[in-house]
Structure 1
Amino acid sequence: MSRVRVLAATLMITIAGAVVAMLPAGPATAADCVTPWQSSAVYTGGMTASYNGHNWRAKWWTQNETPGAADVWADQGTCGGSTPSPGTCTYPNWTAGTWYDTGAIVRYTNGNYYIAEHGNPGYDPTISTWYWDPYACSGGGTTPPPTNPGGFVVTEAQFTQMFPSRNGFYTYQGLVAALSSYPAFATTGTDTVRRQEAAAFLANVSHETGGLVYITEINRGTYCDLSQPYGCPAGAANYYGRGPIQLSWNFNYKAAGDALGLPLLTNPWLVETDAAVAWRTALWYWNTQTGPGTMTPHNAMVTGAGFGETIRSINGSLECNGGNPGQVQSRVTAYQQFVQILGTTAGANLYC
């Protein structure tokens, strides 16, 4: 069954100018200040910055919004002195199955720290981004995750070159944060295969979203299968396409949410408000779903079946076998452009 629908009208994130709030008095002994806030920088949920003698943590995506603005930045207390030095954090190690209240801070097995945004029974912080956000220790700890962690074959500069007009919602940082959910993505096989898979994924994403411009469907359909025992608790009209691969239908939101540890069936809006969640749903489909095809898009690329089979798995029932050659060509053209940016070749079997 095809899961992709007509592209949605962009949910452009427009936030009113921030008003700097009066800063509350801090404790007598201030923590060290983290990296100073920059108005031009993009901050995603969990990132920190110092401003006006306080450390602040972004609750979600923000740019040009002064720390202190209501509902955007969380005050982490007064600060003073140098930026953090590693090795002095004393937060406990995360333990699966342990209950964590909102605000709890833990050290995960990857050495990074996370803060509970919602109480949870020990969900994996690298997967359950509804419950956990990255946290920078104000007293030290690990350095922030690198811009290009794990040797991801697409740099931020290349990502920007691929999507020069993208919506600010689709951040490179959000994509990077999502990679840990499916570590085999773009890390399997030779360097050529890894680059081809990344290019194939991003080419299909580009086609689905008009170059990472659209977040939700333009003409929103009603994708509620009431035969499912869990129904449509968010409302029958609210399972429209969202995100990089336009996730739609209640059963897909249920399956993706279960796989990622997110409440997507009851809160599908997470896919259009949290960049990392949006990217995770796209990677979920890419790595685990065959759709109308016979293999996952990930397997199509790492086994040599070719780019054409990724199209079949995403929207092949409508586009392949002569169904819509113009749409197929649009995907292939994007793929050919992206492999060139990544310095590799497109390989065989481009069409379906």
Structure 2
Amino acid sequence: MSRLRALVALAALVVAGGLVAIIPATAASAAACAASWQASAVYTGGAQVSHNGRNYQAKWWTQNEAPPGTTGVWQDLGACGGGTTPPPTGSCNHPNWVAGTWYATGSIVRYTNGLYYIAEHDNPGYDPVISTWYWEPYTCGGTPPTNPPTNPGGFVVSEAQFNQMFPSRNSFYTYSGLVAALNAYSAFTRTGSATVQRQEAAAFLANVHHETGGLVHVVEQNTANYPHYCDPGQPYGCPAGQAAYYGRGPIQLSWNFNYNAAGNALGLPLLTNPWLVQNDAAVAWKTAIWYWMTQNGPGSMTAHNAMVTGAGFGETIRSINGSIECNGGNSGQVQSRVTRYQQFVGILGVPAGANLYC
């Protein structure tokens, strides 16, 4: 018997009262799970949480970044739950997923939930259940899909990711409405590399989140402002009534001249029927994408161009509300947008890029 085998055998024997008892060899149990991570909670250095069956410890202050995250703030402490992960059986001998490990396209891993995933794109160890762009579920023992499924309409954000971004959204803001609106501007979230496309989607949705309180508000809440959005000096006036052009939709379209311009661009009668924006989800999303793609606002470029040219997320803020928030106007509001953007790029598995502030 080899020395190693002898040591293993010896470890399994206990001599008690002259009798030899055989002790079954068992793996060490996983640690108990810490309190579940919460998106709205603030965590300081040393705080421990659990997420998707693993414990994590914060290295510094963080909020809204789901473990394992993309900034390095979370230290992986290992599996939790008081039990062990059963070994793969049969032909399912793929390795366990390890955060931070480089995985090439086609790599197959076993995640902490016991399911298998295949890398659809090269990635540096992104979480398979968060980044559906980089990972797809895989039936162990099967063959890798030759044509991995894509999201509806070719959108770079899956419905599951959309729901994760907006857990308390108003039912009016449907994912299907957003996908249906994509055909209005083919370059939206389809320009540049895969990373740039996801950064643009995250930037758009982060600003939308800020403007609507997480897609909760369909119309502007301050009704006292409603009569102020009619500019009678325009040649077409305000045919729907002076108080009809209040803020609506994901970017809160307001003023008669914006309804007129958006309606002309989209082929919709928004000047005479602005209520379409609050009654039709696809129309609401189209008006937001119209502004994003075509309007400089207080900035020097469209929000779309800011993201696809590398000008950065800060310039999207300037294009939407820069005259009030940028250059020290309201740093708290700017930080709110930036924090949300950092959360959303984390969900989509891409870096935030430079120039986050304005």
What does the per-residue CA deviation read over 1:279-324, in whole Å, with 9 as the maximum and x for residues that have no partner?
A: 0000000000000000000000000000000000000000000000
1:148 matched to which residue of 2?
151
Q: Could you say which structure has the larger radius of gyration?
A: 2
1:158 matched to which residue of 2?
161
Shift of 1:217: 0.6
Return the alpha-carbon distance in structure 2 between the equivalents of residues 147 and 165 of structure 1. Answer: 25
Return the alpha-carbon distance in structure 2 between the equivalents of residues 335 and 267 of structure 1. Answer: 33
Q: In the alignment, which of 222, 227, 234 is matched to residue 219 of structure 1?
A: 222
2:271 matched to which residue of 1?
265
2:213 is aligned with 1:210: yes
Return the alpha-carbon distance in structure 1 between the equivalents of residues 193 and 179 of structure 2. Answer: 21
Return the alpha-carbon distance in structure 2 between the equivalents of residues 330 and 212 of structure 1. Answer: 15
AA aligned opposite 1:148: N
What does the per-residue CA deviation read over 1:87-143, in whole Å, with 9 as the maximum and x for residues that have no partner?
A: xxxxxxxxxxxxxxxxxxxxxxxxxxxxxxxxxxxxxxxxxxxxxxxxxxxxxxxxx
AA aligned opposite 1:174: G
1:244 matched to which residue of 2?
250
2:330 matched to which residue of 1?
324
Return the alpha-carbon distance in structure 1 between the equivalents of residues 150 and 171 of structure 2. Answer: 17
Return the alpha-carbon distance in structure 1 between the equivalents of residues 250 and 204 of structure 2. Answer: 10
1:194 matched to which residue of 2?
197
- 2:270·2:276 contact (CA, 8 Å) conserved in 1? yes
Return the alpha-carbon distance in structure 2 between the equivalents of residues 277 and 261 of structure 1. Answer: 11
Q: Which runs of 5+ in 1 are unaligned?
A: 1-145
Q: Which runs of 5+ in 2 are unaligned?
A: 1-148
2:175 matched to which residue of 1?
172
Shift of 1:151: 2.5
Return the alpha-carbon distance in structure 2 between the equivalents of residues 167 and 259 of structure 1. Answer: 27
Return the alpha-carbon distance in structure 2 between the equivalents of residues 254 and 166 of structure 1. Answer: 28
AA aligned opposite 1:279: W
Runs of 4+ in 1 over 3 A off after TM superposition: none
Return the alpha-carbon distance in structure 2 between the equivalents of residues 166 and 150 of structure 1. Answer: 21
Shift of 1:247: 0.1
- 2:325·2:333 contact (CA, 8 Å) conserved in 1? yes
Return the alpha-carbon distance in structure 1 between the equivalents of residues 299 and 337 of structure 2. Answer: 16
Shift of 1:149: 3.2
Equivalenced residues, count: 207
- 2:173·2:281 contact (CA, 8 Å) conserved in 1? yes
Q: In the alignment, which of 273, 281, 294 is matched to residue 275 of structure 1?
A: 281
Shift of 1:275: 0.1
What does the per-residue CA deviation read over 1:2-30, in whole Å, with 9 as the maximum and x for residues that have no partner?
A: xxxxxxxxxxxxxxxxxxxxxxxxxxxxx
Q: TM-score, normalised by structure 2?
A: 0.57
1:341 matched to which residue of 2?
347
Q: In the alignment, which of 305, 309, 319 is matched to residue 311 of structure 2?
A: 305
1:256 matched to which residue of 2?
262
What does the per-residue CA deviation read over 1:202-249, in whole Å, with 9 as the maximum and x for residues that have no partner?
A: 000000000000000111312000110000000011100000000000
Return the alpha-carbon distance in structure 2 between the equivalents of residues 155 and 211 of structure 1. Answer: 17
Q: TM-score, normalised by structure 1?
A: 0.58
Higher relative contact order (CA 8 A, sep 6+): 1
Return the alpha-carbon distance in structure 2 between the equivalents of residues 278 and 239 of structure 1. Answer: 14
1:294 matched to which residue of 2?
300
- 2:229·2:255 contact (CA, 8 Å) conserved in 1? yes
- 1:148·1:176 contact (CA, 8 Å) conserved in 2? no
Return the alpha-carbon distance in structure 2 between the equivalents of residues 206 and 314 of structure 1. Answer: 13
What does the per-residue CA deviation read over 1:247-279, in whole Å, with 9 as the maximum and x for residues that have no partner?
A: 000000000000000000000000000000000
Shift of 1:147: 8.1
- 1:204·1:311 contact (CA, 8 Å) conserved in 2? yes
AA aligned opposite 2:336: S
Report the 3-state secondary structure (helix = DSSP H, G, I; strand = E; otherwise coil) of the residue aligned with 1:212: coil
What fraction of aligned residue pairs are identical, expressed as a percent?
A: 81
- 2:153·2:180 contact (CA, 8 Å) conserved in 1? no
Return the alpha-carbon distance in structure 1 between the equivalents of residues 157 and 311 of structure 2. Answer: 22
Shift of 1:152: 1.3
AA aligned opposite 1:340: G
Provide the aligned C-alpha RMSD in A: 1.1
Return the alpha-carbon distance in structure 1 between the equivalents of residues 165 and 278 of structure 2. Answer: 21
AA aligned opposite 1:262: L
